[in-house]
Structure formats: C-alpha cells, structure tokens
Amino acid sequence: MKGFANLEMLPSLIESYKQRGLFLERRNINLYNSVFFQHASMTVPFYKSFFNNTAQANPIDFPIVSRKDLRKTVEFTSNNFDKKDLLFKTTSGTSGVPLKIPRDPASLYSFLHEGFAEVVSRETVTSKLMPGKLGILFVDDLGSNSEISNLNPSLNYSIVRRVSIGKDYVRDVQLVKELRKLRIPILYGRPRALQALMKIDESTNGRHISPDLGLCSGDNLYSDVKNSLQNWLQCRVLNSYAMQECGFIASECSNDTGLHISQNIMLNVEAGAGERSSTGEGFAVITYFDNWAFPIINYLTDDIVSVRNTSCRCGYSGPTITEIKGRNSPYFFIDGSQFNPSHFNIIFENQMIDQFQMVQRGHVFSLKVIPGEVKDLDFLASYLKDELRKIAPLEQIEIEFCRSIATDSHQKVQRYVCLAFT
C-alpha cells in the first residue's frame, strides 16, 4: 500500500526518535514545572521585562495573557533557542488573526506523537497497536490529494496514516472501499470530517468501516453527532479538547465522567476580574508545559468550561472538564433580552439534518442547513420556521440549504453565532 513501506518512513522516524530523546530528557527534569516557569521568566523577553530579570517559579505570579498578546511572537519566544531549530505552526484563526507558534524539537514530538499516546492510554485499544501496523487513521476534509504516513514511537511504533476526503467523490468512494478492508484501531478526525466519511460509507454498497475506537477533536462534538457516529461505527467515540497552541488539552475516557486534563497542561478557570480557580465555570486559562521555545502561561482562551475534581474508574484523579460551552454557545438577543439558542437544538436533532448554523444579525436570523436525506426542502423550511417561532418570537428567518457551511477548510463550524443585535 502506498506510503506504508517502513523504509519510506525511515527519515521521519529517525527525526522523531531524536525529538523523543529530547522530549524524555526534558520530562525527566526534577521539579519540571518549577524549572519551566524559571526558564520562562529568565529567557522570554516579555517575562524578563515583567519580572525585572528575576527568576519566578510560581504560576500565580505570572500575568494572564491573551491571544492578542501572543501575536507578538518575538516577545514570547525564548532566547535560549536558535530560530533555525524551531518549527513554526500557524493556528486556524477561527477567532481572529492566526497565531504563529514556534516549537522546539521536544515540543514538536509532544505535539505530534505523545499527545495521541496519552489520549488513548486509558483505553483497551492500546493493546492492539503493533509496530509497523496501522494504529491511527486520521481523516480530514481538506480535499487534498496528499497522503501522509508516519511511525509513532509513543504508540508502540504503530502507523499514523492521514487521508483526505472532499475533493473528488469517485476517489472518496475508492478510499472508503479500501478502508473497509483495513483493521483500524483508532479512527480520528474533526466531527464534520467523520460525518462526511460516514455519508460516503453509508451511500456505498458493502459493509461499513469498523474501527475499534473513534476519536474527535477540533470542533465541538455535540451529543446528536456523537450518537450518530457511534451508531455508524458500532464503537465508542471519544471527545477531546485540543488547539494548535497546546495540542491535546483534555480528553474523554470510556467512563463518561468528562474530559481529563492532560499531564502537560495546567488548566484554571477565570470567571471575571482576573480571578483564577482550579475548579468552577469560566473561561479556560491554560498553561502548556512542553513548549519551552514559546512558553504559554496563563493563556486566556475564549472557551467557557466547567471543571471539577474527579476520581475515575480509568485510574485518573484530578481536574476534569464536565462541559465545554465555548464560542459555540453565545446568547441571542430577542425582544431586548438574552436568549440561549441551545433551546433550538431539539428541533434540528429531530430532523434528518447533517449540520446547521444559525446567525443573528439584528432582527434577521440566517439559517444554513445541510439537509441530509430530506427530499422536500420547501416543507422542511416551513417546518423549521414554525418550530423555531414556537420557542422564540423570531421576526425574520432566512433559510439556505447548502452542501458546506465552513467557508474555509480549517474553520470551526459554530452552530450559533451572534454578529449584531442592535
């Protein structure tokens, strides 16, 4: 199979092995977290200035930083690294201007390899990951012709294979037929990418793709989408909270207790006025310990989370995200009052709808719908307007049926968006 020959993957394996050595060396540092904060305070221009060249080891002494702050890449990059040794990764820019994040080799290993290993470490599927065999099938919907396969040393040297769908339907059908023949321990992708794969699989005669475990990140995994994916795959589908800046932040296990915080992450919540707490509800404030080239400390995100301490049967004990509200749950403003649009979810979940997005612009509510198997679109449009108005007095509703909602392949699709209400 193209891209699966181990000799072809040898150069990337050698490089990742070097990165792994640096990663393990760093993780073995005594008082790892304390040393990380001292490193940041003494080598990062922003923190050197803030602390007046004095070493600091307590995260509470570090200021909260925003996305706007981190755009000043040079000010937050450690002067302990040569720029030529760094790899720059760019975020999607969903919430504004993309960030350019430099990563040192050890951080890159954590981001590309170790993160996956920790996410699945509590699952029985890890015993099925064999050297040189497919471990993770990563599906994206970018419509690219490229396919990438690499060995992951942290997953028993199993193969992570990345495939892309969405550019050519005939090619996508051939890919699905190929995937049906494979033993797939872990199927991974954005929820919308796995939904797209599901549609192709369901429309093609033959048995379905059958992994041992499904894993999602990148977008909110809504309960109705999760249920449909699990019914299709006939296996568990786990949710994870991740971002380009920090990799995997938290992930579910099979016990449905929430998303457990990754060991390289410190997560607090900020409920207002800059006050931080390890539990409660508020904006996620993240410290990421693995990127010493670009230390991310007390990073205030736009994601609203609920966090509590749990002891789980999987063996994890500590802070757990029980709910992610985030940018995907804004309020609408109707008749001068705030309104939580999640009350509309039941309308869409009761219909054969693949995806939707509802945007408020003043008194106009624009609804984009990917209708799935629905044939009578006029009836569906009339039904949606009637049901929406039963829940809230919406003055003007505009409905557009489409094949895609995201204007950019990297864009996160938010179900509800409030752009203007005055």
Q: Identify the band that residue 413 occupies on the pLDDT scale cut at 50, 70 and 90.
A: low
Average pLDDT over residues 124-148: 88
pLDDT tens, residue by residue, 288-332: 999 999 999 999 998 889 999 999 999 999 999 998 876 545 678
Helix and strand tally (H, E) in the chain? 12, 21
Neighbours of 79 (CB within 10 A): 12
Say how far apart CA 83 and CA 294 lie, in whole Å. Answer: 11
The predicted model gives 157-179 an average pLDDT of 92
Residue 61 phi, psi dihedral angles, 5° rounding: -80, -15
CATH architecture assignment, domain 10-262+289-295+303-326: 3-Layer(aba) Sandwich (3.40)
Residue 34 C-alpha from the chain's centroid: 28
Per cent of the chain over pLDDT 70 is: 90
Cβ neighbours for 306, distance < 8 A, ≥ 6 positions apart:
269, 280, 281, 321, 322, 323, 325
Say if residue 44's pLDDT is above 50: yes
Q: How confident is the model at residue 39 (pLDDT cuts 50, 70, 90)?
A: very high
> Is residue 240 over pLDDT 90?
yes
Say yes or no to pLDDT of 411 above 60. Answer: no
Taking only the tens place, the pLDDT of each residue in 243-295 is 889 999 999 999 999 999 999 999 999 977 778 899 999 999 999 999 999 99
State residue 145's pLDDT score: 64
Predicted TM-score (pTM) of the model is: 0.78
HSE-CB of 60 using CA atoms within 13 angstroms = 4
CA atoms within 13 A on the CB side of 36: 24
- Looking at domain 329-420, its CATH class is alpha beta
- Determine the Cα–Cα distance for residues 84 and 76; give it in Å rounded to an integer: 17
Q: What are φ and ψ of residue 218, in 5° steps?
A: 100, -40
Structure tokens given for 71: 């755009």
Spatial separation of the C-alpha atoms in residues 358 and 342, rounded to whole Å: 11
Contact 327, 414 (CB under 8 A): yes
Closest CA to 358 of 336, 325, 386, 331: 331
Q: What is the mean pLDDT of the chain?
A: 87
DSSP letter, residue 363: T
In the prediction, which pLDDT does 296 show?
A: 96
Give domain limits for the chain: 10-262+289-295+303-326, 329-420
CB 282 within 8 A of CB 305: yes
